Amino acid sequence: MSAFAVAERNADAAPDASARPGGLSASLFAAARTGPQRTALRDSGDRAAWCGRPPITWTYAAAAEIVGRLARGIGAWRLPAGSRVGLWFAGGAESALAHLAVEAAGHLPCPMPALWDADRLSAGIASAGLVAVLTEGRRGARRPAEDLAQAAMGHFGLRYLAAFGPGVPDGVISLDAMALERGVAEPVASRGLVTFVAGDPGRPVYRSAAALAAAIDVHLDALPVTAEERILTLLPAHDLRGLVTGLGAALAAGASLETVIPFDEAGFRAGLMRPVPTRLVVPSLIEAALAALPLPWTVRALHVVHRAPASTILDATGESAGPRRLDSLVFDEDAVLTRLGGRDLAATLADPERAPLPRALLDLAFLDLGGDQDGPLAYRGLACATAPLPRAGVPEPDAQAWRNSGYRPTPSGGVETA
């Protein structure tokens, strides 16, 4: 552990977890009060080449101030409380700041996948009923702010467009300028968020702030993050998978979140070698490639995230030497199931009723179809309480109703392998 990390750990206490039901922005402001000089958000890689901007490193105090300024600026738009505001970012610190500012201003953040083309962007704006969208001026070869301005012509209800620069066209509000304005708004209680099932612009779903906090709690139940750690993630935060394992987990503990988006091997290697206790979060698709890369001693935990349907959930390394292994299985936008290693995850799927789960938040069982064979996996609890987003208002999902996941574990050799 670096001397800097030790000093941060000794100087600052972990944030007050009681602030978390108020939302992610409330957690940010709580951590800024207890550990203002801890690093909150950091970008890895060559950001200058990607978006024409230098990489960002914000302390909790600085991030809270920027979020408060942006929230004050968004509040000046005079939108009704709980308005649906889109977030169209590739990822990184600016994406997190935008999400937190929209929430702090009392609106519903609606993160959207960066890979959407113009047609899917337009469909997502319509299906979610967005009245404003925040984005970025440059994204590699793309110009999202310009694309958004074009898309807005077909949506009468889309009243405000804003972007971090450079390359912000006329008619789009500069978030950089807004972040420099004086005055900081304290966050209001979160109203939840909207995400899109499987990245489908026609399937927006609503999750309350309490349901997001519960999903984060269930995830951290397997192996809590500490305030001295850094979460180094390769996952964007446009869905439940990225938010729970990245920004949500970091803010819950007052830890640091560093994002490697877009992926750049040189930037990733440089970021990986930073002398900070690290939890590395990667999608299962790159697990094989990562196995060939020696991980530094600072990596305390390797967290592999699978999305159902998953072809395999058993790690090949087993109990070999190296960092502790975490595996998460993500069910659409409903639930994130995290266990200590693929074998523990497989055992939980094989016999969920005997697994040590925080059942007040997430309960698992097999549906009884009346035969000798178990039916699909089902879940209930606050951590998986979502509902399709209606055109107006927000739904009230029933946290106690069993829901069919649509998936059935696949046994092989006496264990669940897929």
Q: Looking at the predicted structure, is the pLDDT value of residue 315 above 70?
A: no
Q: What is the mean pLDDT of the chain?
A: 90
Q: Looking at the predicted structure, is the pLDDT value of residue 345 above 70?
A: yes
User: pTM to 2 decimals?
Assistant: 0.92
pLDDT digits (tens, 9 = 90+) for 368-415: 877 667 789 999 999 999 999 999 999 999 999 999 999 998 887 667
Q: Where are the beta strands (DSSP E) in 186-228?
A: 193-196, 204-207
Angstrom distance (rounded) from CA 280 to CA 271: 11
Angle CA(357)–CA(362)–CA(366) in degrees, nearest 5? Answer: 85
Higher pLDDT, 67 or 413: 67
**Cβ count near 198 (within 10 Å):** 10
Angstrom distance (rounded) from CA 312 to CA 334: 20
> Token pair of 54, please?
């230098």
Angstrom distance (rounded) from CA 186 to CA 26: 9
Instruction: Report helix, strand or coil for 298.
Output: coil
Higher pLDDT, 19 or 299: 299
pLDDT digits (tens, 9 = 90+) for 357-376: 999 999 999 988 776 677 89
**Cβ count near 157 (within 10 Å):** 12
pLDDT digits (tens, 9 = 90+) for 257-287: 999 988 888 888 888 999 999 999 999 998 8
Confidence of residue 47 (pLDDT cuts 50, 70, 90): confident
| Res 322: pLDDT | 78
| Res 41: pLDDT | 97
pLDDT digits (tens, 9 = 90+) for 48-59: 888 888 888 999
8-state DSSP, 383: G
**Beta bridge partner(s), residue 185:** none
pLDDT digits (tens, 9 = 90+) for 204-242: 999 999 999 999 999 999 999 999 999 999 999 999 999
**Beta bridge partner(s), residue 108:** 84
